[in-house]
Chains A and B, each alone.
Chain A
Amino acid sequence: MSALLEVSGVTKTFDGFRAIDDLSFSVNEPELRAIIGPNGAGKTTFMDLVTGKIRPDAGTICYGDLSRDLTKMSEAQIARAGIGRKFQKPTVFEDQTVEENLTMALAAPRAPFAVLFRRTDARVAARGAAARVGLEDRMQTPAGVLSHGQKQWLEIGMLLAQEPRLLLVDEPAAGMTSAERERTTEMLVEAAKTRAVVVIEHDMEFVRRLNCRVTVLHEGHALAEGSLDHVCADPRVIDVYLGRQEAADA
């Protein structure tokens, strides 16, 4: 095991609000990691920083064997370097079929002229990617008519097709039925056997089922880290979660 992603001293401020405040932590390969935290803890901002959507004010985010600094790369470069991201809302291309969605995601050259002129038959590979998420019977279905859960899976399938080394997953269980959650848990645990998977989640029950190391984020920095039972016993974590609860009740 070696550190695949090393976040050190990262700070990001929006109009004076410190969304991420001196955040440091690392993810190994392979590993399944859950990040939990109350609303506004900076979970999604953290993802935006790693995937290059926004740049940090300070700190470094090093990735991979060569420890490349992600803060100096574009979104597309970061994606090609092997970081896949799943958004909170299922974001698939609704006008296009499952096959077209997956074909776009498959690991292959991505430069415009290579895509235009070197055409390869990716049907078998796309089918394989669909089979991993149980959508092999839906290849010609427009993604827009899939159910909410199937869209989430299609997106996970697209991420896996990218063959990423690091997978960032934002609230995968949101809006799913409990049977769909079970399938999703299986997919993520399976994926984490060969790569690093970071799951951001609100739902404690879902995190418990993932059965992995947990990082608690609070006001932009890592508050505690360890197994779910360990962090739940941490007085600071209880204070953050219950303290908010009391404030909300008051």
Chain B
Amino acid sequence: MTDAASSSGQKYLGGAGAGPRPLIARADVLVFLCALAFVTIVATLMAQAGWVSTSFVKLLGKTLCLCIAALAMDLVWGFTGILSLGHFAFFGIGGYAIGMWLMWSRTEGIVLETLSRAPLPATPLEIEEAIGSQIFGVVGSSDVPALWTFAGSLPLQLAFAVLVPGAIALIFGWLAFRSRVVGVYLSILTQAGTLALSLWLFQNDNGLRGNNGLSGLQNIPGLSGTPQSTLSLWFLWGSAVALALAYLLAAWTVSGRFGSVLRGIRDDEARVRFLGYEVERYKLAVFTGTAMACGVAGALYYPQAGIVNPAEIAPIASIYLAVWVAIGGRGRLYGAVIGAAVVSLASSWFTGGGAPDIDLGFYEIKWTDWWLVLLGLSFVAVTLFAPKGLGGLVDLWTARRAMRRQGDLGPDQGALRAEEESR
């Protein structure tokens, strides 16, 4: 930065790079949006030409949703320094909320059609009982639980997909941050909360079908005539638009003074307090906002996945989320997206039998078994050798490596030493 010291001050008032540029004109935002549009368009064209399968389009759409969750994780961990090991639970809750409507409405349609053939018109009670036994027969019940009161309403269930994660995050965060629980203790607390939630979901009598979860979510009520190949494309586009909006929103959030405060909280929260900022409120705002974003992402993901069950909410899923962000690069938004996309696509490739097994003669490496070992090793390698993650490669590309000198390490030239020596 010697050029900065020698140049005139005037340059900074109007100079390029000094001022806040409009979000859309920022290089990373622009490149990201173009890349996203490119991927979406190419996938669409290839799907219509029949070169890629419907399940591949779904995989792509699901990956985009995971990228939204990774963005949220980056905001809360990479920027604010809260290592939440529970954000994937919010994603799952979003899935459950939309899944309830999908299952209910579709079952309602089937039941109405069946009952219409009966000699007498069915009463509302009979219809509800029929739906209940259809949905809950698998857990040996036919009563409709109170949780499903609003399952017939799409707007309400959509609202729940956002508001339930938001409310849980708000209450949990308020309790935790107010007591100044930080660092590893907060991580353990979030993980314990996630574990409790998933254990509760595994119960058969909780009204959410226990470990069966909600299934058949790929069948969208009212669109039974539309083939899955078309639906998968619609969801891909919807996911791409949602990811684009999420990226813009995240970039806007971490820009300017708000972003400065977040990074300040990550690096030294006591100092931020002495600057007059209520650190706890900032943490709560970010924690809650990202939980809601995860809810939206989950609501888009599970209709493409077709099934949501308690295993999705288990703590391991939230740990994966942290691993994606760490591999992609914490503290930069595109890093989170790259990490989520690369790792989850690689995971599908390795576990889906795409990767050729390696025959060592005395032992055959089957990737379906060894993928997790490979993932674990890459996580360790990234942590040790490339703390900036895959996103750090961009620094090499732009040759704009951030100068870093933490604390009092390294030779200190002293601001006025040259001046002193000349005396």
Contact with B along A44-88 (1 / 0, CB 8 A): 000000010100000000000000000000111001100011010
- The reply to whether B282 and A112 contact each other, CB–CB distance below 8 Å, is yes
Chain A residues, Cβ within 8 Å of B6 = 137
- The reply to whether A95 and B416 contact each other, CB–CB distance below 8 Å, is no
Residue of A85, A100, A146 ringed by the most chain B CB atoms within 10 A = A100
A130 to chain B, nearest CB (A): 9
A residues bordering B, Cβ < 8 Å?
51, 53, 74-76, 79-80, 84-85, 87, 89, 91, 93-96, 99-101, 103-105, 108, 110-113, 115-116, 119, 121-124, 127, 136-142, 144-150, 153, 158, 162, 177-180, 183
A115 to chain B, nearest CB (A): 5
With contacts A74-B278, A119-B256 known, is A145 near B405, CB below 8 A? yes
Expressed in whole angstroms, the Cα–Cα distance for A108 and B420 within the complex equals 38
Chain B residues, Cβ within 8 Å of A141 = 1, 4
- The reply to whether A140 and B1 contact each other, CB–CB distance below 8 Å, is yes
Q: Which single residue of chain B is at the shortest CB-CB distance from A183? A: B416
- Could you name 18 residue pairs across A and B whose Cβ atoms are closer than 8 Å? A75-B273, A76-B278, A89-B408, A91-B271, A93-B260, A93-B264, A95-B402, A100-B260, A104-B260, A104-B275, A110-B276, A119-B256, A137-B5, A140-B18, A179-B417, A179-B420, A180-B416, A183-B416
Q: Which single residue of chain B is at the shortest CB-CB distance from A147? A: B415
Pick the residue among A51, A139, A142 that contacts B18 (CB under 8 A): A139
Chain B residues, Cβ within 8 Å of A146 = 415
- The reply to whether A115 and B258 contact each other, CB–CB distance below 8 Å, is yes
Interface residues of B in 108-161 (CB under 8 A from A): none
B417 to chain A, nearest CB (A): 6
B173 to chain A, nearest CB (A): 13
| B388 on the A face (CB < 8 A) | no
| B281 on the A face (CB < 8 A) | yes
- The reply to whether B274 and A104 contact each other, CB–CB distance below 8 Å, is no
With contacts A91-B268, A158-B275, A162-B276 known, is A104 near B257, CB below 8 A? yes
Q: Which single residue of chain B is at the shortest CB-CB distance from A106? A: B257
B229 to chain A, nearest CB (A): 41
Chain B residues, Cβ within 8 Å of A183 = 416
Chain A residues, Cβ within 8 Å of B7 = 137
Chain B residues, Cβ within 8 Å of A138 = 1, 4-5
Pick the residue among B273, B402, B412 that contacts A142 (CB under 8 A): B402
Chain B residues, Cβ within 8 Å of A79 = 273-276
Q: Which single residue of chain A is at the shortest CB-CB distance from B255? A: A119
- Interface residues of B, count at CB 8 A: 50
Supplied contacts A112-B281, A112-B282, A153-B415, 8 more A-B pairs, CB within 8 Å: A74-B273, A75-B273, A94-B404, A101-B260, A110-B275, A110-B276, A111-B281, A147-B412
Chain B residues, Cβ within 8 Å of A87 = 271
Expressed in whole angstroms, the Cα–Cα distance for A178 and B420 within the complex equals 8
Q: Is the interface of A mostly helix, strand, loop or mixed?
A: helix
B residues bordering A, Cβ < 8 Å?
1, 4-7, 9, 12-13, 17-20, 253, 256-258, 260-261, 263-264, 267-268, 270-279, 281-282, 285, 402-408, 412-417, 419-420
Chain B residues, Cβ within 8 Å of A113 = 285
Residue of B282, B412, B416 ringed by the most chain A CB atoms within 10 A = B416
Chain A residues, Cβ within 8 Å of B1 = 138, 140-142, 145
Pick the residue among A76, A111, A137, A148 that contacts B273 (CB under 8 A): A76
Expressed in whole angstroms, the Cα–Cα distance for A127 and B278 within the complex equals 25
Expressed in whole angstroms, the Cα–Cα distance for A233 and B278 within the complex equals 46
Pick the residue among A75, A127, A144, A153 that contacts B406 (CB under 8 A): A144
Expressed in whole angstroms, the Cα–Cα distance for A116 and B281 within the complex equals 12
Chain B residues, Cβ within 8 Å of A180 = 414-416
Expressed in whole angstroms, the Cα–Cα distance for A141 and B402 within the complex equals 10
Chain A residues, Cβ within 8 Å of B272 = 104
Q: Which single residue of chain B is at the shortest CB-CB distance from A103? A: B257
Residue of A79, A112, A121 ringed by the most chain B CB atoms within 10 A = A112
Expressed in whole angstroms, the Cα–Cα distance for A238 and B390 within the complex equals 62
With contacts A74-B278, A150-B415 known, is A137 near B4, CB below 8 A? yes
- The reply to whether A85 and B406 contact each other, CB–CB distance below 8 Å, is no
Chain A residues, Cβ within 8 Å of B17 = 140
Expressed in whole angstroms, the Cα–Cα distance for A147 and B410 within the complex equals 10
Q: Which single residue of chain A is at the shortest CB-CB distance from B18? A: A140
Expressed in whole angstroms, the Cα–Cα distance for A127 and B8 within the complex equals 13
Pick the residue among A85, A93, A115 that contacts B274 (CB under 8 A): A85
